[in-house]
Amino acid sequence: MKIEDKKRVLREMVLHRRFEERCYQAYIERKIGGFLHLYPGQEACCNGVMEAARPGHDYVITGYRDHVHAIKCGADPKEVMAELYGKETGSSKGRGGSMHIFDADKRFMGGYALVGGPFPLAAGIAKAIQLKGGDEIAICFLGDAANNQGVFHETLNMAALWKLPVLFVCENNLYGIGTSIERSTAVVHQHKRVAAYNIPADECDGQDIEVVYEHARKAVDHVRSGNGPFFLELMTYRYRGHSMSDSRGYRSREEEELWKQRDPIFILRDRLIKEGALTMDEFEALEKETDAYIENEVIKFSEESPEPRVEDLEKYVFADRETQLPWLTGKAA
Amino acid sequence: MANIMYWEAIQRAHDEEMARDPLVICMGEDIGVAGGTYKATKGLYEKYGPLRVMDTPISEGGFTGLGIGASFLGVRPIIEIMSVNFAWLAMDQMFNSAAKVRYMSGGQLTAPCVFRSAGGAAHQLGAQHSARMEKVFMGIAGLRVVTPSNPKQAYGLLKSAIRCDDPVFINEHELMYNMKGEVPDGEYFHPLEGSDVARAGTDVTLFGYNISVHWCLKAAEILDKQYGISAEVVDLYSLSPLDREGIKKSVSKTHRAVIAEEDEAPVGVGSEVIAIINEECFFELDAAPVRVHSALVPQPYNHTLEKAAIPDHEDVVKAVLKLFGKA
């Protein structure tokens, strides 16, 4: 990666980290309700892959740990936070919440809360691309535990069969909710599982963004060149629990500390310092600047935004009635 | 007016819509090269090719989700689920993805897809190939449910369902694909909402949908000729939403109601129609409404037991006579 790109991505990753940590705080303050699945520790995965792809052009879909993927695709952090606050200005107008961030204009096709649910949706998006003849690809980010669902295998089969332009990114963070991969899955290395479908696959360190980027570039090129699907496994770790009620009793603090020594942001920071492109002072300033932006703009916007109107409770269940009248009443022109 | 079969009507709707819009596609098990289990997609593979007429693997959850995902980008898939019993495997995608995506995205995405499936009990197909499941689909916010009782509806409802931006589930019936009926020669769009008065009457309303409309019509004939009872038959082709106004209008006229459904009674069309009658026109009633429904058993294989489990026109007649104190 070029120095200026690495510096830009470092800035983004710091935003992603601080955004998530601020969500944690807002949750404790009961500003955010429901479930909240946070991304710290895995930032190099989404950033590395999307640096190799075209955010806003390629279609991205993921599970419930979705805030950072949305922001990386171009969603406004203010709207993502406002969604967590349940406000009308939120990216899904307060109807979706943390697990259902959407930004169709930026081709972020949403976060879905059934584990594995996005697999066939991603293949369907790829099918639509194939029919329309565009050069976009579909990228499906999911965790390792999703691969134990039946639709994983159904989707791999169809994607390979029809040579669909879809990249499956498996962020293997070693835990499915509170059960370790060794205790839930017969094969720890997920890329081995797709060999049966004749889908090319690769695995790499998910903590070093440059490593992710290099592997993702090959994966994206493969899919965009019309060769069909690709499966990329990234070995990573989530620092926080699965969701907010999770006290992480299923793993040791030593294990967590070991992973934190390979923190994706620090790896990139230290490399840039070593390359003479960044000083520690600059990094600390960046963190402060990011916090100020989150506080003064993102949180302020979310706090001050209006609630949805109760009169609009049933809005968005169906398409706008007026536009559908010919089919609802049979009085087509 | 052409006199064609139910399956031909469905095939014609596919063909017209696929010829008009290259983003209309169809998918399902055996629908292409094999021409479809019920012939509803006959000849389409040859005409539109494998990219648009997709023979899918036997992966209901997978291919249904794939169709839904394609619909997010404006593709209009007609997804055939060979038997409604297999739809259980696709329900996660139908309910959690298609029906909810518009709401949970604040109106940004929509899933304009059509799910077609053969529901209903045929002949001795046993417990896992004979389910009636309309009750399951009609309780889901964001999903429209229609069920054609004749070829004209089969054609017109599919045409409208393809054009509509909402996901629509079309409940067909295994025993009705060869039924003949008049279908307009010109393009025709059947309303996705409302109900039809299939036969006008004054003494009692018989509510039916899909195959039970035919039991009701036959019962009305018998009631008229043998007992001098004038029965009105209301065809509830839209199960979600149900036509509150239509139900109220007919019951306010006849003051008596029988609901005939092939499904089991609990949490079904009958219970829902009676709830609507209670809410809309309770004081118009001269007698408590009655449900005619199947027994609450997994469908038996044995022919005699199967017949005993499923109601028919005679059960509708009996219910009406009881309502009038004549039985």
- B40 and B170 together in one domain: yes
Asked if the Cβ–Cβ distance from B105 to A100 is below 8 Å, we say yes
Which of B73, B105, B193 minimises the CB distance to A110? B105
Per residue of chain A (333 residues), give pLDDT as tens: 999 999 999 999 999 999 999 999 999 999 999 999 999 999 999 999 999 999 999 999 999 999 999 999 999 999 999 999 999 999 999 999 999 999 999 999 999 999 999 999 999 999 999 999 999 999 999 999 999 999 999 999 999 999 999 999 999 999 999 999 999 999 999 999 999 999 999 999 999 999 999 999 999 999 999 999 999 999 999 999 888 888 899 999 999 999 999 999 999 999 999 999 999 999 999 999 999 999 999 999 999 999 999 999 999 999 999 999 999 998 865
Residue in the structure block whose two tokens are 């699907």: A229
Listed in sequence order, the residues at least 6 apart from A288 whose beta carbon sits closer than 8 Å to its beta carbon are none
B236 pLDDT tier (thresholds 50, 70, 90): very high
- B112 and B206 together in one domain: no
pLDDT at A38: 96
Question: Which residue of B lies nearest to A95 if distances are taken between CA atoms?
Answer: B104
B56 vs A contacts (CB less than 8 Å): 158
SS3 readout for chain A: CCHHHHHHHHHHHHHHHHHHHHHHHHHHCCCCCCCCCCCCCCHHHHHHHHHHCCECCEEEEECCCCHHHHHHHCCCHHHHHHHHCCCCCCCCCCCCCCCCCCEHHHCEEEECCCCCCHHHHHHHHHHHHHHHCCCCCEEEEEEHHHHHCHHHHHHHHHHHHCCCCEEEEEEECCEECCEEHHHHCCCCCHHHHHHHHCCCEEEEECCCHHHHHHHHHHHHHHHHCCCCCEEEEEECCCCCCCCCCCCCCCCCHHHHHHHHCCCHHHHHHHHHHHCCCCCHHHHHHHHHHHHHHHHHHHHHHHHHCCCCCHHHCCCCCCCCHHHHHHHHHCCCC
CATH code at B251?
3.40.50.920
- B100 and B247 together in one domain: no
Please indicate, yes or no, if residue B272 is contained in any of the structural domains: yes
A93 vs B contacts (CB less than 8 Å): 106-107
Select from 3.40.50.970, 3.30.70.260, 3.40.50.1980, 3.40.190.10 the CATH code of A3-329. Answer: 3.40.50.970
pLDDT at A67: 98
Asked if the Cβ–Cβ distance from B65 to A112 is below 8 Å, we say no
- B160 and B110 together in one domain: yes
Question: Which residue of A lies nearest to B64 if distances are taken between CA atoms?
Answer: A120
Domain termination residue (choose one: B120, B153, B183): B183
Q: What is the dihedral of CA B151, B153, B159, B165, to 10 degrees?
A: -150
- B205 and B292 together in one domain: yes
Annotation marks residue B60 as catalytic: yes
A324 vs B contacts (CB less than 8 Å): 164-166
- B151 and B266 together in one domain: no
Q: Compute the distance between CA of residue A10 and CA of residue B156 in angstroms, rounded to an integer.
A: 57
Distance (Å) from the C-alpha of residue B327 to the closest C-alpha of chain A? 41
- B37 and B165 together in one domain: yes
Quick check: B327 pLDDT over 80? no
Q: Compute the distance between CA of residue A280 and CA of residue A284 in angstroms, rounded to an integer.
A: 6
B217 pLDDT tier (thresholds 50, 70, 90): very high
Residue B250 phi/psi, 5° resolution? -70, -45
Output the six-digit token pair for B199.
């036969």
Distance (Å) from the C-alpha of residue A156 to the closest C-alpha of chain B? 9
**B198, B213 contact by CB (below 8 A):** yes
- B43 and B153 together in one domain: yes
B169 vs A contacts (CB less than 8 Å): none
Distance (Å) from the C-alpha of residue B78 to the closest C-alpha of chain A? 13
**A43, A16 contact by CB (below 8 A):** yes
Residue B231 phi/psi, 5° resolution? -100, 135
Please indicate, yes or no, if residue B190 is contained in any of the structural domains: no
- For residue A87, the 8-state DSSP code is -
Distance (Å) from the C-alpha of residue A203 to the closest C-alpha of chain B? 25
Catalytic position from the list B129, B193, B221, B280: B129
Query: What ipTM describes this predicted complex?
Result: 0.97
Range of the domain at B74: 2-183
Output the six-digit token pair for B182.
């008049």
Annotation marks residue B293 as catalytic: no
CB atoms under 10 Å from CB of B1, counted, come to 10
B105 vs A contacts (CB less than 8 Å): 92, 95-96, 100, 102, 104, 110, 316
A154 vs B contacts (CB less than 8 Å): 57, 59, 61-63
Give residue-wise pLDDT tens across range B242-272.
Answer: 999 999 999 999 999 999 999 999 999 999 9
Sketch the domain layout of chain A as residue ranges.
3-329
Which of B105, B146, B193, B243 to mutate to test binding with chain A, by most A CBs within 10 Å of its CB? B105
Question: Which residue of A lies nearest to B75 if distances are taken between CA atoms?
Answer: A128
Q: Compute the distance between CA of residue B233 and CA of residue B246 in angstroms, rounded to an integer.
A: 11
Q: Compute the distance between CA of residue B276 and CA of residue B259 in angstroms, rounded to an integer.
A: 12
Domain termination residue (choose one: B183, B208, B227): B183
Which of B21, B58, B73, B193 to mutate to test binding with chain A, by most A CBs within 10 Å of its CB? B73
Question: Which residue of B lies nearest to A132 if distances are taken between CA atoms?
Answer: B23
Asked if the Cβ–Cβ distance from A131 to B51 is below 8 Å, we say yes
CB-defined contacts A:B, below 8 A:
182
Distance (Å) from the C-alpha of residue B58 to the closest C-alpha of chain A? 9
Q: Compute the distance between CA of residue B56 and CA of residue A30 in angstroms, rounded to an integer.
A: 47
**B183, B206 contact by CB (below 8 A):** no
Listed in sequence order, the residues at least 6 apart from A83 whose beta carbon sits closer than 8 Å to its beta carbon are A90, A91, A92, A94, A96, A97, A98, A101
Asked if the Cβ–Cβ distance from B75 to A128 is below 8 Å, we say yes
Distance (Å) from the C-alpha of residue A92 to the closest C-alpha of chain B? 4
User: Percent of chain B beyond pLDDT 90?
Assistant: 98
Asked if the Cβ–Cβ distance from A317 to B102 is below 8 Å, we say yes
**A272, A7 contact by CB (below 8 A):** yes
How many domains, chain B? 2
CATH code at B88?
3.40.50.970
Give kind and range of the element (H or E) at residue B154: helix B151-163
Asked if the Cβ–Cβ distance from A124 to B65 is below 8 Å, we say yes
Q: Compute the distance between CA of residue A122 and CA of residue A155 in angstroms, rounded to an integer.
A: 9
Question: Which residue of A lies nearest to B106 if distances are taken between CA atoms?
Answer: A92
Looking at the DSSP bridge assignments, the partners of residue B26 are: B53, B78
Asked if the Cβ–Cβ distance from A330 to B96 is below 8 Å, we say no
Sheet harboring A230-235: ordered strands across?
A: A108-111, A59-62, A138-143, A166-172, A230-235, A201-205
Provide the strand spans (E) within A112-264: 138-143, 166-172, 175-176, 179-180, 201-205, 230-235
- B179 and B307 together in one domain: no
Asked if the Cβ–Cβ distance from A330 to B156 is below 8 Å, we say yes
Which of A122, A162, A316 minimises the CB distance to B69? A122
Q: What SS3 class is residue B240?
A: strand
- B216 and B303 together in one domain: yes
- B166 and B209 together in one domain: no
Catalytic position from the list B8, B17, B29, B60: B60
Give residue-wise pLDDT tens across range B102-132.
Answer: 999 999 999 999 999 999 999 999 999 999 9
- B26 and B114 together in one domain: yes
SS3 readout for A41-88: CCHHHHHHHHHHCCECCEEEEECCCCHHHHHHHCCCHHHHHHHHCCCC
The CB-side HSE value for A172 (13 A sphere, CA atoms) comes to 23
Asked if the Cβ–Cβ distance from A94 to B165 is below 8 Å, we say no
Q: What SS3 class is residue A312?
A: helix
Domain termination residue (choose one: B120, B152, B183): B183
Distance (Å) from the C-alpha of residue A139 to the closest C-alpha of chain B? 12
Please indicate, yes or no, if residue B191 is contained in any of the structural domains: no
**A4, A31 contact by CB (below 8 A):** no
Q: Are strands B76-81 and B2-5 parallel, antiparallel or unpaired?
A: unpaired
